[in-house]
Structure 1
Amino acid sequence: QDAKITEKSERARKEFLKKCEKIKKTAAYNEKLILETANKCADEYHKLFGRIGVHPLMTAEGKKRPRYLQDREETWVIYKPPLWQMGGYTDLWFKSLTDRMRGTKNKDEAEEKYLQSSRPEVIQEWHCLETGLHWIPKQHAKTDMKGWGFIQRLDVETDGPVIIAKTWRNMRALQVQMKLHVNTKAYLCLVHGRLEHRTQHVKRSFAELGSEASTQVMLQHDSSNDPFFDWTASGKWTSRNKRMAETFFQPLAYYHRKEDNSDYTL
């Protein structure tokens, strides 16, 4: 039996599409106004699905502390807990970190500000706080090593290892490996419903919504989930980024919640 979309998620999806249709009706069709319209819809997405503001994963103790799993000659591996995001760019990260450190006596106080804040914080800022930027070669700091050596990203709710290069040589080598899929990765996810116990393959097209990297979301690119599918398909929104994603998945365990008689699959 395929997993059923929860009633709450389905209501949010329909409400999101409904609000976007209203916003689209007031939009003009030049590129600048299209982006403004898309940003308004991205804001509605965050309001309905709860990715901005007080997050349901937040606890009274704040966020979990990132920790370094490996520190090698040319590479770090850092554990990114949930509620740490990876959007933005270097100038923004550095400015935000500088502002955060004002009024603090030492690094420990600055760390505590990040851990106790009520919103997702940027893992790159934490990395800068812990290590400084002196390790980036000056000849590569502004050009080749954009992004402070971070090789890949994880979503704000996702926790797991993140690779950071210390040298330009290692960054290029790791980027090539990622592009050629030399490395493989797997995710553990608890989902609503009960999936059939077999290995399955999914291949879908996704398109971005929102121009700000820190708040941008990816929507399944079809008429049921993407309010701008018609604009993209007809060529009205030509600059929009789309990409294909495919994966295999297999159920590992099943759970049942007695309180509301709901099923879950790991």
Structure 2
Amino acid sequence: MSSLNQALRAALDHRQDLLAELHAQGTDCYRLFHGSQEGAGGLTIDRYGPQLLVQSFHQSLESDDLLHLHQAINQHLGLELLLVYNDRSRGNSRIDREDTVYRAEPAALEDLVGHEWGLNYRVRGRHAGQDPLLFLDLRNTRGWVKANSAGKSVLNLFAYTCGVGLSAAAGGAREVCNLDFAEGNLAVGRENGQLNPQLPTMEFIQSDYFPAIRQLAGLPISQRRGQKLPSYPRLEQRQYDLVLLDPPAWAKSAFGTV
């Protein structure tokens, strides 16, 4: 047995109790293998509902190794997960869209649905961006938000695909506002809302963080010397009961750097 196969088997064995707990929660989106901590640096293996997403960031997997991982995980979970492999070992972690190692079956690349804390989420193995539509490392935060939002007004900043906002709505928030700079992210957030029709409607605002938060705080928007600021939506000053921030590191815009 190769060292990679041994590391994967150990990781799956260690997750037995966790996976049982997650399934009982109504969650089928989770990390199965975190290579930098479990013996294969730069390799991650995640389940997103019916899909198995394998990503390599340091070096490409061999096709035989990839297929063996897929088979071993399906056998361990007793499922037939659809395989998507994103080789991101090139510059800036860009996905090799030529699929020189493995080309996913069409069914694996369709719009699929995964679940977390009993909520439905849009899953796409490939889309215009680079990263998955649901960041798994924020699962417990989303669970906390769901448990602590009842009756509150919630502002979800750097909302990405609005998982935090969705959790707040599911937790009984009286008002949820999702704000993100990218309309494509908010479009997926709207899809997530539509996939959970039992929840109240959320608000979506496309805006840079800095002009939005300064307006909400009743502060002026400063202009850099000699630089004309881009347009931005006008917002009224107000407060929220719960504000969530999960910003990307060193995100830069004409308004400032996070």
Tell me the TM-score range normalised by the shorter chain: under 0.3
TM-score, with length taken from structure 1: 0.24
Q: How high is the TM-score relative to the length of structure 2? A: 0.24
Relative contact order (alpha carbons < 8 A, sep ≥ 6): 1 or 2 greater? 1
